[in-house]
Amino acid sequence: TWLAHHLVREITYLKPTLSARPGPVLTPGGNMTLWCRVSIPAARFILYKVGEAHPVQIQESSEEGAEFFFERVTPSHGGSYSCCYQTHASYYAWSQPSDSLEVWVTDMLPKPWLVAVPSPVVVAGRNVSLRCQGPLGGMSFALYRVGFPGPLQYLSSAQPWADFPLQDSMAPGTYSCYYHTPFAPYILSERSDPLIITWSGSTPQDYTIGNLIRMGLAGLVLLTLGVLLFLDWHRWRGCQERP
């Protein structure tokens, strides 16, 4: 690539950082600025995109950063970007590239997947977490359960996933999740495939039936005691009424 051809010797410069404003996820037609920054003055900044042989943009600068502006972006602007820089002291050598920044230009984000940790089969007395995972960090996640009209839980996460804890007594059910950008205009993902959480062994219904059986036996014992007391009282009255 163009960048590899121009890395003429080993560089010890600080690695720059690359960020997107308003964010790395945009709808088609919006404007985007990619900001390459470093903590020392630089003479020139370059922006490149994975898969392209030539630089996307080059900017002369005496500052500690450069802004690469994109107007009315289209899906073709999506991809993985990085940047690097030169200093005045060594004009023919480039720094190491920044970490890659993934840019998405879309009306709908990819479907996440929902998994249960440690297992979708819950053991009584143990809790379970549902992990909703997508391809991007810094998103807001929502967990849904069949039978509930709104989100069951709502979390924001710097990671590409969010973990939703569930208590064992509330766990069984059918769940799904989605995520969206944390800033307006919000871009939503598709809803995940449903995940069914079930019980292993005795279920709360089993416990309820057991309690009913125990209560029935206790009632039968009380009834028997009541009958015995009544018979004993009846015999005592009979003795009192004899002449």
Please report which helix (H) or strand (E) contains residue 211, including its range: helix 204-241
Domain around 133: 113-201
Domain boundary among 105, 130, 162: 105
Residues 66 and 101 in one domain: yes
Q: Which residues pair with 130 in a beta bridge?
A: 116, 164
Residues 82 and 121 in one domain: no
Instruction: Determine, yes or no, domain membership for 177.
Output: yes
Instruction: Determine, yes or no, domain membership for 243.
Output: no
> What residues contact residue 80 under an 8 Å CB cut-off, 6+ apart?
49, 50, 51, 100, 101, 102, 103
Domain boundary among 105, 121, 142: 105
CATH number, residue 87: 2.60.40.10
Q: 0.85 cut: is pTM over it? A: no
Please give the chain's pLDDT, 243 residues, in tens.
Answer: 455 445 444 456 789 999 999 889 999 999 999 999 998 888 899 999 999 989 999 998 767 889 999 999 999 999 999 999 988 777 678 889 999 999 999 999 999 999 999 888 888 778 889 999 999 999 999 999 999 988 999 999 999 999 999 887 778 899 999 999 988 778 999 999 999 999 886 444 444 444 556 566 666 766 776 666 666 656 655 555 555
Instruction: Determine, yes or no, domain membership for 217.
Output: yes
Instruction: Give the single-character DSSP code of 234.
Output: H
Instruction: Determine, yes or no, domain membership for 142.
Output: yes
Instruction: Determine, yes or no, domain membership for 66.
Output: yes
Residues 36 and 98 in one domain: yes
pLDDT value, residue 240: 56
Instruction: Determine, yes or no, domain membership for 225.
Output: yes
Instruction: Determine, yes or no, domain membership for 125.
Output: yes
Residues 212 and 228 in one domain: yes
